[in-house]
Amino acid sequence: MQRRTILRTMAALPLATCSFGAWAAPAAGSKFLLVFLRGGLDTASVLVPIASEFYYRVRPDIAIARPGSLPDAALALDTSWGLHPALGDTLLPLYQRKELAFVAFAGTDDASRSHFETQDSMEMGQPLTGPRDFASGFLNRLVETLGGSSGGAAGGAVNPIAFTDQLPLVMRGGQHIGNVALQSVGKAVIDARQRDLIAGMYAPTRFSVPVGEGFAVREEIMKDLADEMDSASRGAITTKGFERDAQRVGKLMREKFDLGFIDVGGWDTHVGQGAAKGYLATRLAELGKGLAAFAATMGPAWRDTTVVVMSEFGRTLRQNGNHGTDHGHGTAYMVLGGAVRGGRVAGEQRVITEANLFQNRDLPVLNEYRGVLGALFARQYGLSARAIDRVFPGAQPRDLQLA
């Protein structure tokens, strides 16, 4: 029996009775990527509530048509849900291979509807009431719980990285985590002697570790992406945008890193979001291509990889006055991976009617993200309830048996 299978079987027991303290180290080769869609994705256009009369009534111009009703209608996932047609070539095959699950009615209890407030509070992953540590993100605490970052002074077990030009809040905290902007990868201009001189100046300062990491990560990336640069410089056709970034992320996570973060902006569709075609459809197609490219690039390591795609909130169920949608509440997450128990829409659900809306405008949150992600991490990494409580303090685990 594979170690992973044992973990999964045992993790199926109620969390409270489990204790995996002896196995605090991550399962060998286990990898996790968080994809954050900043701006508030309109998930009702991605995971389409095809059985909801109300949805079609309140979105006369931007609804995705019922499966089979039009050439570019939603693609049926089951009798309640459909998939946006722009994702047919990329995410539908993953769903059919049971490597993609959706979590409907997901989200946070933070109802400020502010992008920034909600993103920050989600990235911190701390209880909404009581004092909060604004310098501690949940992925940083996960790294700590898994035995620490290899980049730190102690040289821990995890090799985390943010593929962003700034270190995101979710990865800030006690563990040293590097970041690299995939767009700014280029030829090395600082030679080894200069690197040592600069590192020497920083040795007595609080920036000593990030300076060292910055050099190390850049060298690593240069090495891993050397052949891509090489073929690009010989005129090969290269992908662009998120698909290219996701391929790079795949390559780097396959070769070196095991816990990653990337974000994608442009989801704040207040005006003219389109339906089966249009602005949002184009962005979704790009997202789908990227996720499929990431899965393919990971190769055999995809078996041990989990990807969670989330956004700070969903959008109003009713379309607004400009064929767009405004800031809402409940959203839907995607969980992808070679060993994910996919091919289903997981979590507590309700029929979408006017009466079931949150504050008569938004999807309700029935599957709180800290509980859902905590249970996912418990399964993937074999972590005890106590360990998970350090990642998401005070959260009620909500095990959707995703991994």
Partner 1 sequence: MPLWCLGLLSACASAPGSDAGPAPAPPVVSGAALAPVPLLDRLSWGANSADYERIRAEGAQRWLQEQLQADPAAPLPASVNEQIADMTISRQPVARLVIGLESQRKSADAVPDEEARKAAQHDYQLELNRLAREAATRSLLRDLYSPKQLQEQLTWFWVNHFSVHQNKHMIRAMVGDYEDQLRAHALGRFRDLLAASARHPAMLAYLDNAQNAVKHVNENYARELLELHTLGVDGGYTQRDVQELARVLTGFGINNSDPAATQAPKLKRELAGQYLRDGLFEFNPNRHDYGDKQLLGHTIAGRGAAELDEVLDLLSRHPATARTISRKLARFLVADEPAPALVDAMAREFQRTDGSIAAVLRVAIGSPAFAQSLHGKFKDPVHYVVSAVRLAYDSRPIVNAGPMVNWLNRLGEAPYSHQTPDGYSLAESAWSGPGQLAVRFEIAKAIGSGSAGLFKTDGPNPSERPAFPQLANALYYQSTQASLAPATRQALDQAQSPQEWNLLLLSSPEFMMR
User: Under the rule (CB under 8 A), what is the footprint of partner 1?
Assistant: 38-39, 111-117, 135, 162, 164-167, 172, 178-181, 184, 189-190, 194, 197-198, 200-205, 207, 210-215, 217-218, 265-266, 268, 270-271, 320-322, 324, 326-327, 359
Question: What is the closest distance, in whole angstroms, from the C-beta atom of residue 359 to partner 1 in the complex?
Answer: 7
Closest CB to partner 1 among residues 148, 382: 148
Rounded to whole angstroms, what are the CA distances from 294 to 247, 308, 395?
5, 13, 31
Nearer CB in complex with partner 1: 205/353: 205
Cβ neighbors of 331 (< 8 A, separation 6 or more) are: 40, 41, 43, 106, 107, 310, 311, 312, 313, 314, 363
Minimum distance of partner 1 from residue 237's CB (angstroms)? 21
C-beta of 222 vs 385, nearer to partner 1:
222
CB of 212 to partner 1, least distance (A): 8
Closest CA to 163 of 173, 171, 174: 171
Q: What minimum distance in Å lies between the beta carbon of 167 and partner 1?
A: 4
Nearer to partner 1 (CB atom), residue 207 or residue 231: 207
The nearest distance, CB 227 to partner 1, in angstroms, is 21
Please identify, using beta-carbon distances, which residue of 187 and 234 lies nearer to partner 1.
187
Nearer to partner 1, 212 or 374 (CB): 212
Quick one: 42 or 304, whose CB is closer to partner 1?
42
What's the min distance (Å) between Cβ of 96 and partner 1? 34
For the bound state, the minimum distance from the C-beta of residue 169 to partner 1, rounded and expressed in Å, comes to 8
Q: Among 372, 14, 11, which Cα is nearest to 3's?
A: 11
Give the N- to C-terminal CA distance of the chain in Å, as an integer.
17
- Could you tell me which residues are beta bridge partners of residue 149? 158
Instruction: Write down the least CB distance from residue 272 to partner 1, Å.
Output: 9
Nearer to partner 1, 14 or 186 (CB): 186
CB of 149 to partner 1, least distance (A): 12
Instruction: Choose between 324 and 382: whose C-beta lies nearer to partner 1.
Output: 324
